Amino acid sequence: MQQPSHKTALLLMIIAPTMWSTAGVLSRQLESARGFEVSFWRSFFAALFVGTVLAGQHKTGLGQKLKSLGRYGLASGVMWAAMFTCFMLALTMTTVANALIVESFAPLLTAIFAWIFLSEKIPGRTWLAIVVAFCGMLWMFIDGFSQLDSRGLIGVMLALCVPFAVAANVIILKKGGQHVDLIPAVLVGGVLSAVLMLPFALPLSASLHDILILATLGVFQLGLPCMIMVHAAKGLSAPEISLLSLLEVVLGPFWVWLAIGEEPAKATLMGGTVVLGALIFNEVMAFRQDRQAKSLS
């Protein structure tokens, strides 16, 4: 697949977290499925969708496509599985606010990893955007950051796996994605996550109504946007990918507000505005620098 231009990749990387952010609205419609079962079905349908798309694209070569993933593909699959499962496990032991604050470390970790493993020079504007975005995330959720007991501490440790997995996966996508199609790694991640979650999800209690919603989550909230992200990663820097992923957390409360009428706290709106401002600042400055570089060449 051809590498997208920066503008196309930017658009795709806005679409992906926007789709991820619908999880809250859709999950509010569930009747009986909860926790581990939600994670199992979501991962199952994501894997089914990605597998079906790949089978259609590579009618006789899906097995060969999976075999050709190599070490980068397998590592990416494990990182996807970690992201799909650790956040859900963390939510069973700590609050959503705790988990989201910990998850917002991802852009900083990604920038550090990109500097170490990709020798990628990180512009000052991006470091500034990362710091400002993190402050915005703190503003959004600090009121809900609860005192931690031993169980809560375990939950935070599990949540901490998510930004490390995100950062590692972005580096893998940048390092290996230029030479190997890593979209099948999303399939690997979905399968691993579903297998890991199944024992905890039993006995399954989802109604047909829930199954339809969970299938929608698996396809449109997980499988498709993850495939989009893999393609977008070819045209963006590692910190840009991770920063833009924060749109998921910013937009999530907005959709719930719009669809269900659950008004977010003032701190959520103000903090979200700060995060959006940081993302817009980073991209506007990037476009300005690109134009200046082209005018000088």
pLDDT at site 216:
95
Residues 6+ positions from 81 with CB-CB distance below 8 Å: 188, 189, 190, 192, 193, 196
For 54-91, how does the pLDDT look when each residue is reduced to its tens digit (9 = 90+)? 988 876 677 777 777 888 899 999 999 999 888 878 87
Q: Is the peptide bond before 203 cis (omega within 30 degrees of 0)?
A: yes
Indicate the pLDDT class of residue 294, thresholds 50, 70 and 90. Answer: low
Q: Which of 130, 137, 131, 132 is nearest to 238 (CA)?
A: 130
Burial of 249 (0-12, 13-18, 19+ CB in 10 A): buried
Report DSSP state, residue 149. -
Of residues 63 and 247, which shows the higher confidence score? 247
Phi-psi region of 245 (alpha: psi -120 to 50; beta: other; left: phi over 0): alpha
> What value does the mean pLDDT of the chain take?
86
* pTM recorded for the entire structure: 0.86
pLDDT at site 146:
59
Q: Is the pLDDT of residue 182 over 70?
A: yes
- Are 138 and 249 in contact, with CB atoms under 8 Å apart? no
DSSP class per residue in 4-68:
PPHHHHHHHHHHHHHHHTTHHHHHTT-SS--HHHHHHHHHHHHHHHHHHHHHHHSTTTHHHHHHT
Report the C-alpha gap between 22 and 4 in whole angstroms.
25
pLDDT at site 60:
63
Q: What is the CA radius of gyration of the chain?
A: 19
- Would you say the C-alpha torsion 11, 13, 15, 18 has a positive or negative sign? negative
% residues pLDDT > 70 (the chain): 94
- Would you say the C-alpha torsion 215, 54, 226, 290 has a positive or negative sign? negative
Token pair for residue 131? 């710091």
- Are 186 and 223 in contact, with CB atoms under 8 Å apart? yes
Indicate the pLDDT class of residue 297, thresholds 50, 70 and 90. Answer: low
pLDDT at site 17:
93
Find the mean pLDDT for residues 125-147.
81
pLDDT at site 218:
95
Q: Within a 10 A sphere around the Cβ of 269, how many other Cβ atoms? A: 17
- Are 6 and 282 in contact, with CB atoms under 8 Å apart? no
Helix (H, G, I), strand (E, B) or coil at 12: helix
For 34-52, how does the pLDDT look when each residue is reduced to its tens digit (9 = 90+)? 888 988 999 999 999 999 9
